[in-house]
Homo-oligomer: A and B are copies of this chain.
């Protein structure tokens, strides 16, 4: 196998495509959003990207067969335009790998003449989120304005420390190729898989790209996660109570 291997699975004509990335990250927000798009809309696999920078691993299918770790690009048909949606279970395991694999993703985007790149992800707040704001970042000021108009928030110096991994490099390397790219980051506690944050990110994408999508499946999953979160909170408050008791005994 080559260092990076782009398998061409299909080569359809796409209408005004934009490239949307949803790999694993904080709260699995980007991954949930991208996978929800694929579940709700017609799609077909167009590319698979294999790389020795991914972990040496195969994943299990339900029938007992296996698939080598890869990132998959799907063509998704919306009412007025098409999307390229990138999903996968892994990111690269080293710095140079991150750069090279992201360059391969951008090669795919350019091979379909994608007009723009949207990197979906989460931004950790460290506490339970009530209002799911979506933070943004983009390669140019005009793109920032477009996103601000549909409700994306831009806060000085946030996220602190910038944007790391494939999402960050899609902007950084995209800009150097002359591609417009933006990152949409749903606020999320950072402690749990967060379908509500994914929904907030997708609602922004609906506005920007002009499409509609049902959220029932994502809302159901959000309810399940809320039950989990409640149980964890309950356990924690019990533990804190016990810890306080012990502390009192210890110090007193």
Chain B CB within 8 A of A12 CB: no
Please determine whether B1 and A168 come into contact, CB atoms closer than 8 angstroms: no
Chain B CB within 8 A of A102 CB: yes
CB distance from A77 to the nearest CB of B (A): 29
Q: Which of B56, B136, B141, B169 contacts A95 (CB 8 A)?
A: B56
Q: How many residues of A contact B (CB 8 A)?
A: 58
**Interfacial chain B residues near A141, Cβ < 8 Å:** 63-65
Q: Which of B68, B139, B154, B176 contacts A175 (CB 8 A)?
A: B68
> CA A102 – CA B57 in complex, angstroms?
12
Q: What 1/0 mask marks residues of chain A from 107 to 142 whose CB sits below 8 Å from any chain B CB?
A: 000000000000000000000000000001111110
Copies of this chain present in the complex amount to 4
**Interfacial chain B residues near A65, Cβ < 8 Å:** 137-141, 144
> CA A166 – CA B56 in complex, angstroms?
7
Chain B CB within 8 A of A69 CB: yes
Chain B CB within 8 A of A215 CB: no
> CA A68 – CA B63 in complex, angstroms?
41
Please determine whether B168 and A96 come into contact, CB atoms closer than 8 angstroms: no
> CA A105 – CA B160 in complex, angstroms?
27
Q: Which of B66, B100, B137, B148 contacts A137 (CB 8 A)?
A: B66
Q: Which of B97, B99, B138, B162 contacts A1 (CB 8 A)?
A: B99
Chain B CB within 8 A of A88 CB: no
Q: What 1/0 mask marks residues of chain A from 171 to 199 whose CB sits below 8 Å from any chain B CB?
A: 11101100000010000000000000000
- Contacts A56-B99, A164-B56, A164-B57; is A67 near B172 (CB within 8 Å)? yes
- Contacts A52-B99, A96-B53, A162-B60; is A168 near B66 (CB within 8 Å)? yes
Please determine whether A66 and B96 come into contact, CB atoms closer than 8 angstroms: no
> Could you list 24 A-B pairs, sorted by A, with CB under 8 Å?
A1-B99, A1-B103, A52-B96, A52-B98, A54-B95, A55-B164, A56-B166, A56-B168, A56-B169, A58-B171, A58-B172, A59-B162, A62-B157, A63-B154, A64-B141, A65-B141, A65-B144, A66-B163, A66-B168, A67-B172, A68-B169, A68-B172, A68-B173, A69-B162
